[in-house]
Copies of this chain bind each other. A is one copy, B any other.
Amino acid sequence: MSWAGRHIISIADFSTEDMLHILDLAASLERQPRPDLLAGRLMATLFFESSTRTRLSFEAAMSKLGGQVIGVTDALSSSARKGETIADTIRMVDQYADVIVLRHSHEGSARLASDVSRVPIINGGDGANQHPTQTFLDLYTIAKLFPDRLQGAGAPLRITVAGDLRYGRTVHSLLTALTHFPVCMQMVPVPGLEMPGHCLDEAQMAGCPVQLLPDLETAVAQSDVLYMTRLQRERFPDPLEFEHVKSAYRVDAAMLRSAAPQLRILHPLPRVNEIAVDVDTTPHAAYVPQAGNGVPVRQALLALVLGRAEVAVGSGA
């Protein structure tokens, strides 16, 4: 499948080969900066809800490749307020820009946008549904931390997802992505926020069953990667219950004394209470460089959909 002009909507649209291609290109662009690769190309960021991390890293990615950026951070307060549909907004912005990064609270909005757009749409998060560029950067982070392991070298990586496994779109998408690779998946859900059955079934059918671990202590001792997620107060009907879970469901430096030495902790950020600040200075903390990996991964995606990936790799060699 050709990459130029392709939309980036859902992690389910990508094959193993696609994923490895993105990771390779990101690594190449991280090794070898290409400050003119996207010169003359214009990216529009169309954010109907604010997202500092996603927007800034896309803008940084575009800028570092020599491209330019136009954007709307308050999309809701402008045309949409006058009653314009997303489809019409996209048909306007695709007249101005060569690629559109869209973030919208409605599930399916990115797919809808891709149906009408003349230029590639990159989904920067559509509600509780998909946030594929987050998943690619998570995958890239794991690949960087454990070279060749995703491709099958050595024992399968033991990857544990923990926390709100019910609503957290990042863990659902990550699980989908990881079924393409020889890994051993584990989980530590917060009671009441267990992984939905269809996610577990999907993983099972893909030959990647998810093992239940009893607690975070076990996860810390028996994982290569521990992927923590943010607990959101609004998921808990009972405030007392939230307070209880919030203090119980927490990794700190003391707990890490029994960690496997190679354990690396990831988090899509922002964290609130899930990872204590005293973890930051341990060798296990990998969530800050994880955020930084958003830049090369988004550079790779922009280069791909704008048809400049061959050029990137060609002279980057």
Contacts and interface: CB of A to CB of B under 8 A. Distances in A.
B295 A95 contact: yes
A70 B39 CA distance: 17
Given A50-B74, A64-B42, A73-B74, A272 B82 contact: yes
A57 B73 CA distance: 15
Copies in the complex: 3
Interface in A238-292: 269-272, 288-289, 291-292
A101 to B, nearest CB: 13
Contacts of A292: 95-96
Nearest to A96: B60
Given A56-B96, A60-B42, A291-B95, A272 B74 contact: no
Nearest to A292: B95
Interface residues of A, number: 48
Contacts of A52: 72, 75, 78-79, 89, 92
A314 interface: no
B70 A63 contact: yes
Contacts of A50: 74, 77-78
A222 interface: no
A50 B292 CA distance: 26
Nearest to A57: B96
Nearest to A269: B92
A147 interface: no
B63 A270 contact: no
Contacts of A39: 35
A84 B287 CA distance: 14
Nearest to A63: B68
Contacts of A295: 95-96
A191 interface: no
Interface string A22-39: 000000000001010001
Contacts of A83: 270, 272
Nearest to A39: B35
B70 A42 contact: no
B53 A79 contact: yes
A269 B33 CA distance: 41
Given A50-B77, A70-B63, A270 B56 contact: no
8 contacts: A35-B39, A44-B56, A51-B78, A52-B92, A56-B93, A79-B270, A95-B295, A96-B292
Interface of A: 33, 35, 39-40, 42, 44, 50-53, 56-57, 59-60, 63-64, 68-70, 72-75, 77-79, 82-84, 88-89, 91-93, 95-97, 230, 269-272, 288-289, 291-292, 294-295
Given A52-B72, A57-B95, 6 more contacts: A50-B78, A53-B79, A56-B70, A82-B230, A83-B270, A84-B271
The 4 closest A-B CB pairs, nearest first, are: A95-B292, A84-B270, A60-B96, A50-B78
